[in-house]
Structure 1
């Protein structure tokens, strides 16, 4: 990526960061008085630390919220987007500067993901609880399968390219649009984006600025729609911000890498269990609604 493109991208990240902070302050009344619990803060630390190393934060955060019942199911998608945005922006600032990606590929995939999230957030924010549970359950099942594949080494190794053109670029744009839609349901973009980039023959390293840049630009706009409709948990959002941003900096600049295979196996099992419980909850709620009717 040339210097001018990189500088423009960093300026764009700064602008969306400001936009997100303004959205939080205006959309969440008395934000300054919100006191998140230690559990919410530690959740941000744990999930965004792993997120920076490439595991993703959405599936792990959803699992924690479901196990502890700290956040209502209907509020989880919006809370994930709003709470992890600033940590994701921090990741994007770091990896955009150290990893080279061809500008058209990077910017095009980011725009596609943003558009997908805008479409998805407008739909998901209006869904009833059981549909959100079912959507998250199915998406988490897919995320678990993908994590199992990563742990088993079945994900394509990719190539050496730092960009794509022609038909491959079209596939990349459409694929990231779909992933942007799925982000609003609660499935993280990182794993699927890494698979998409590798399958197109690009270097897996190039996936980091693509997936982090995509999330950094799409999440503020998706969050704004969820916040406007009151579909977030303020304490969870603030807790993720307080714990997540420092965790990103530690993971990116101090730890940098860890042997993550065992962690992926564990995450895959836990996420699969959470997916099953969400789908079962959706079925119970649907059955209860039918009986009531």
Structure 2
């Protein structure tokens, strides 16, 4: 059954790449570089943030901060789409890796993946039609929620929920409740809210082995992101060149973290990210609540 999931993800990856490169080719005349410095920043952020993503820290929050700091996205309404489209292939690569190294009950995995996909599609359809001001509020809220969940996880409060949990699968009401939770994780993922921390909390609450959260959240993201990203691609609300650069460098970041790094002291780094994310959230909230609308990512 796990092999079936992997084959399904492989087919989904090929379909996604077909849609993505077809759109890039169709609009190739509209793609313009903002200069070698910004291209370098995009390559570097793709590698570093997806490296961190593989370690469970997440990539959406730090990438959103980098977008704003270096003015990489001119229109805030394109941020959720760029986050999803640019990171889809690296995240799918993560899914393949964790499905091979961590055991999980196949039926539970498939049910939760399907719930995540439905949520991701629903979320993308809503966000792609929102005006800039509302998207700014979504981004600010996403950053605030991400910071809170990262802080809870880093402080050990989420880990406490998983103490003594050994189940590798679910059935009955716990499975239904978890599927509902993963649906909303999919919605949040498409809106720029990190998937990992809320997914881990749901897994813990359901009584499953904490380690099982990794293949569930990685495989779910691997299934959700191409579906929600296709919606953004069709709407045109994403940065094409940035997506290409982050996509390529991100795969190398995932490979480095998965195969070369066995252990890393990341506590201080996570707390720094939490602090920066909180500041970024406050900044975007202020932008969204100002009377004059701005699409600049200052």
Scaled by the length of structure 2, the TM-score of the pair is 0.91
Q: Secondary structure at the match of 1:255?
A: coil
- Deviation readout 1:95-144 (Å, 9 max, x if unpaired): 00111111111111100000001111111000001100101111210110
Residue 11 (structure 1) aligns with: 7
Residue 26 (structure 1) aligns with: 22
Q: Show structure 2 runs of 5+ residues with no match.
A: 294-298
Deviation at 1:156, TM superposition (A): 3.4
Partners of 1:34 and 1:234 within 8 A in 2: no
Partners of 1:156 and 1:199 within 8 A in 2: no
Residue in structure 1 matching 2:50, options 48, 51, 64? 48
Cα distance in 2 between the residues matched to 1:237 and 1:274: 22
Cα distance in 2 between the residues matched to 1:256 and 1:127: 42
Q: Secondary structure at the match of 2:6?
A: helix
Q: Secondary structure at the match of 1:201?
A: coil
Cα distance in 2 between the residues matched to 1:15 and 1:60: 30
**RMSD over equivalenced CA pairs, Å:** 1.5
Residue 132 (structure 1) aligns with: 135
Deviation at 1:278, TM superposition (A): 1.1
Cα distance in 1 between the residues matched to 2:28 and 2:248: 13
Residue 168 (structure 1) aligns with: 174
Cα distance in 2 between the residues matched to 1:207 and 1:220: 20
Q: Secondary structure at the match of 1:37?
A: helix
Partners of 1:82 and 1:223 within 8 A in 2: yes
Residue 77 (structure 1) aligns with: 80
Residue in structure 1 matching 2:278, options 272, 275, 290? 272
Residue 61 (structure 1) aligns with: 63
Q: How does 1:1-293 map to 2 (within 5 A)?
A: 5-28=1-24, 29=26, 37-71=39-73, 72-157=75-160, 158=162, 159-284=165-290, 287-288=291-292
- Deviation readout 1:237-289 (Å, 9 max, x if unpaired): 011112100110110011033122111101100111111111111101xx236
Partners of 1:118 and 1:181 within 8 A in 2: yes
Corresponding pairs, count: 283
Cα distance in 2 between the residues matched to 1:34 and 1:212: 33
Partners of 1:251 and 1:257 within 8 A in 2: no
Q: Show structure 1 runs of 5+ residues with no match.
A: none
- Deviation readout 1:33-64 (Å, 9 max, x if unpaired): 87670110101011000000001111111111
Cα distance in 1 between the residues matched to 2:46 and 2:103: 28
Cα distance in 2 between the residues matched to 1:30 and 1:126: 20
